[in-house]
Structure 1
Amino acid sequence: MDLSEFEADNSVSCRLASAVPDVCRSEDCCLGIDEAGRGPVLGGYRYCNHPLRELDHCALLDSKTLTEDERETLFLKLDEAKDFVGWALQILSPNTISTSMLRRAKYNLNALSHDAAIGLVQYALDSGVQLKEVFVDTVGPAEKYQEKLSQRFPGVEVTVRPKADSLFPIVSAASICAKVARDHAVKSWKFRENLGDVDTDYGSGYPNDPKTKSWLLKYLDPVFGYPQFVRFSWSTAQTLLESKSMTVHWDDDKEDGEKAASRQKCASVLSYFGRSKPQGTAREPHRYFSERKLQTLDML
C-alpha cells in the first residue's frame, strides 16, 4: 500500500484511492465503510474505504480478530482483484482530529467520522460507480446514522449496523484495508518535530499498552506537550499533560474576567435609566439634568 502522498505531509488529512474497475461503472455495486484508529491515542487516523462489490467467496473477518500478517495477506488478495474491487481511504491525521475537537466550535469525533463516510460515498458516485447499496459500521446510534445517510443519498439503500464488519463481507473488506493502512502509516511515521533519534517502539497506540504508556511519558515536553503524532485531544494524553506538564495562565482568561466585570458595570449604569421604581420611593434626578432643565419623557 503506497501512502507516500500522505507521508509527504502527515499534518493534514488525505484521500487515497485505487482505480475504479470498469465493471463497477456498468453493473450495480455495493460499498462497505469501516474505520481504524478511533481508539488509539497514537497515530489517530480514521480510515474508511469502499470495496465495490460483494466478496461472499472470501473468508473475511473483522480485522481486529486477525494478526497483522493475516490482514496483509487478505489485503493483497483484495488488491489483486482489480477487475471488480476498488477501494478508497479517507485519512484523518492526528493533528486534524485534535484541532477539530479542541477548537472553540467543537467538531467532535462522531461528526468527523460521519462526514468522512459521506465524502467517500460521494466520491464513489462522482467516480461513476453504479452504487446501489451501502453497508456501514455504526458510529453513534445506528438508526440516526442510517437516517442521516439515507437522506443524503436517497437513491442508495443504506444499512448501518453495530459490528457490521462481522456481519457483511464488504464491511469486513473495508475493515481490513483500513487497519492495514493505519499499520503502515504508524510504522513509517515521519516526525515533523526535531526529536533527534526518536524511539519508534511505541506499541499499538492503545492506552492500555505498556509500550504506549512508556512512550507517552518519555516524549512529553513539559511546555510544548506532544508531537503531532499524538492525538492531544484524547483523554489519555490530556490526563498526562495536566499532571506532568507546566501550568499555563492564559491572558485571555484575565480578559474574560475583565469583560464580565465591564458588562456588569454597564448593566448597573443602564439600570439608572430604567423606568420602573420601587413603590413608595422617588428618585431625585441627577444635578446634570436639573442644571440643564432636562426632564425624562415620563415627566413631560
Structure 2
Amino acid sequence: MDLSEFEADNSVSCRLASAIPDVCKTQDCCLGIDEAGRGPVLGPMVYGICFCPVSKKEDLKNLKLADSKTLTEEQREDLFLKLDEAKSFVGWALQILSPNTISTSMLQRSKYNLNALSHDAAIGLVQFVLDSGVQLKELFVDTVGPAAKYQEKLSQRFPGVEVTVCPKADSLFPIVSAASICAKVRGHTAAKLLSLSSYQFLSVFYLEGYFRDPKTKAWLLKYLDPVFGYPQFVRFSWSTAQTLLDSKAVPVHWDDDEEDGEKAAARQNNTSMLSYFKASAQQSDSRTPHRFFTERRLQSLHTL
C-alpha cells in the first residue's frame, strides 16, 4: 500500500483506496464500515470501508472473516492478503485521521467531538465510492453513538441505500469484518510509519497506546517537553495528555495587543512566549532544531 502521502505530511488526514472493481460499477453492492484506534491516546484513528457485489456475499463469507479485535496480527495480515487477492470483486478505502487532526478538530471553537469527526469520516468514504461509480444498495455500519440516530442520519444522507447500523456489526456481517480488518492492518502500518518519523520514538510502536498501560504512561511522562508539549504521535486533546500538560508543562501566556496595563503588570515577572523566537533567531543555525519544528517542517526565517 502506498503511504507516501501520509509519510509526506502525517499531521493531516489522508485517504487511501484500492482500485474499484469493474463489477462493482455494474451490480448492486453492499458496503461495510468500521474503525480502528478510536480510544488510544497515541497514534492515528483509521476509518475503513470494504465493498463488493451483493451477489458475492457468500464468496466473501467463505474467506472466514472475523472481527479484527479477535484476531492476531498475523491472522489479520493473512486475511487482508485474501481480500487483496479477491480484488476482482472486493474494493476498500481508508481515511487515516492523524493525532493532530483529531486533537485540533476536538479543540476548535465550534463543538466538533469525536463522534461527529467519526461520522464525517464514514460519510466521506461512502460518498467517495458513490462518486467512483459503485452501485451501492446496502450499507452496514458498526455504530458510533446511538445506533438509531446514526442510522437515520445515514439514511437521510444516502437515500435509496438500505442502511443497517448496530453494535457489534463487525462480528455480525462479513463485509463489516472485512472493513475492520482493512482498518486495523493499515492503521497498524500508519501508526508504525508515524512512530518512525523520529528515531527516538521508535519504542512507541510497541506500546498499547492506552493510559492504563504502564509503559504508555511512562512514555508520556518521558517525552513531555515542558514548552512544546508532545510529539505529533500524541492526541493532545485527550484528558490523559491534558492532565499531564497542566501538571508538568510550563504555563504560557500569549501576548495580546488588547491586554490592559493591569493584566500586563500582574505577569511582569513572566517571560513572553515571543521572546523564545526572538532569541532563537539570533542563535547559530548549527544547532539541532527541536522536534517541534522538524515534525512540522518549519525553518528559521531571517529576512522577509
TM above 0.5, yes or no, is yes
Contact in 2 for aligned 1:48/1:116 (Cα 8 Å): no
> Per-residue deviation at 1:167?
0.8
After TM superposition, list the pairs within 5 Å mapping 1:107-118 onto structure 2.
107-118=112-123
Match of 1:179 among 174, 184, 207: 184
> Per-residue deviation at 1:92?
1.0
Structure 2 gap segments, 5+ residues each: 263-304
**What is the identity, as a one-letter code, of the residue corresponding to 1:233?**
S
Structure 1 gap segments, 5+ residues each: 259-300
| Deviation per residue, 1:79-124 (Å, 9 max, x gap) | 1101100000011111111111111113111111111111111111
Distance 2:93 2:191 in 1: 18
Match status 1:226 vs 2:230: yes
- Choose 1 or 2 for highest CA Rg: 1
> Per-residue deviation at 1:247?
2.2
Distance 1:209 1:76 in 2: 31
Contact in 2 for aligned 1:145/1:160 (Cα 8 Å): yes
Distance 2:8 2:15 in 1: 13
2:75 aligned residue: 70
Contact in 2 for aligned 1:12/1:93 (Cα 8 Å): yes
Q: In angstroms, what is the RMSD of aligned CA positions? A: 2.2
| Deviation per residue, 1:156-211 (Å, 9 max, x gap) | 0000001110111100000010000111111122666xx66334344121222222
Contact in 2 for aligned 1:47/1:181 (Cα 8 Å): no
Match status 1:200 vs 2:206: no
Distance 2:76 2:243 in 1: 33
Distance 2:17 2:79 in 1: 18
> Per-residue deviation at 1:249?
3.8
- Percent identity, aligned pairs only, is 77
Structure 1 window deviating more from structure 2 (199-208 vs 128-137): it is: 199-208
After TM superposition, list the pairs within 5 Å mapping 1:226-245 onto structure 2.
226-245=230-249
Q: 1:160 to 1:196 in 2, by over 3 A?
A: closer
After TM superposition, list the pairs within 5 Å mapping 1:101-112 onto structure 2.
101-112=106-117
Distance 1:112 1:81 in 2: 31
Q: 1:197 to 1:56 in 2, by over 3 A?
A: closer
**What is the identity, as a one-letter code, of the residue corresponding to 1:26?**
T
**What is the identity, as a one-letter code, of the residue corresponding to 2:156?**
Q
Q: Secondary structure of the equivalent of 1:119?
A: helix
Richer in strand (by share): 2
Q: Which portions of structure 1, spanning 4 or more consecutive aligned residues, are displaced by more than 6 angstroms?
A: none
After TM superposition, list the pairs within 5 Å mapping 1:140-151 onto structure 2.
140-151=145-156
**What is the identity, as a one-letter code, of the residue corresponding to 1:215?**
W
Q: Secondary structure of the equivalent of 2:46?
A: coil
Distance 1:101 1:191 in 2: 25
Distance 2:102 2:117 in 1: 8
Q: Secondary structure of the equivalent of 2:138?
A: strand
**What is the identity, as a one-letter code, of the residue corresponding to 2:219?**
W
Q: How many residues align?
A: 257
Contact in 1 for aligned 2:32/2:141 (Cα 8 Å): yes
2:214 aligned residue: 210
Structure 1 window deviating more from structure 2 (168-177 vs 2-11): it is: 2-11
Distance 2:107 2:204 in 1: 28
Match status 1:158 vs 2:163: yes
Q: 1:217 to 1:9 in 2, by over 3 A?
A: same
Distance 1:43 1:157 in 2: 33
Distance 1:141 1:255 in 2: 44
After TM superposition, list the pairs within 5 Å mapping 1:1-300 onto structure 2.
1-53=1-53, 54=57, 55-189=60-194, 197-202=200-205, 203-250=207-254, 255=259
